[in-house]
Structure 1
Amino acid sequence: MFEVRIATAPEALELMKDGWPTRVISLVGNDLRFDLPILGPHHFVAKFHDVEAEVPGYTAPTEAMMRAALDHTSSTSAEDRLLIHCHAGKSRSPAMALGVLVRAGLSPTEAMAAVKKLRPSSFRTG
């Protein structure tokens, strides 16, 4: 199984500058406050906001975007290091990580446990 990290946009920028990821999924709106480096064909960018439906000034994700992001990981090998990020690392990227891990063969329960371990701040407790 490949290694996965879930990050905020600033954390992702540092990881990319350091050369950590071999593959990247960026889930960001058009309001990112810095230029996002693009790492060639192993970098998938979906531009949408953290909304469920279209709202004036915001772009909602589409099923096609989500399928394309998941398809981006279909040839990920055990040696790969996959970085999944959004702006805050709390909603879009953990949700995508769940889908990626299930698609890679984990059960939904195993994927949820893995994501909670990777990004505990994304889940409310108590």
Structure 2
Amino acid sequence: MASVTDCCSASGGRASIAINGVNVSPRSVSVTPTNFEREVKSNQDGTIYTINKPMPAEAEMTLSDSCGLDILGLMGCPVDVTIDLWDVRRKYLFTRGVIVGRPKLNTETGEISGLKITANRVIITTY
């Protein structure tokens, strides 16, 4: 098995998502792992200052529709979501997160878009 340093030039690639331990098939995922947004402003003399604004950590998910996928059930109670990026060997664990948004099903392609998982914090691990 290659070490993490062997894959330092890797970016993007394959992903898997598990919601409460059940695998779902992602079409795409975009992760915003921080729970704040940092902004820079300028004083009248040209010097800068920064502002940190609290924000929920989140990931936008586009899923493949499949037998047994209960979108309404997922959008109810808090869930644990694991996003595993295989090629960069990184996992994001959204614990007790909430799935929000307005799901949109493309009946031609079976793609479900418009979903986000949000959480107070995200645990990031590498392997």
TM-score normalised according to structure 1 size: 0.22
User: Which is richer in helix?
Assistant: 1
Structure with bigger RCO (C-alpha 8 Å, 6+ apart):
1
Determine which structure has more spread, i.e. the larger CA radius of gyration.
2
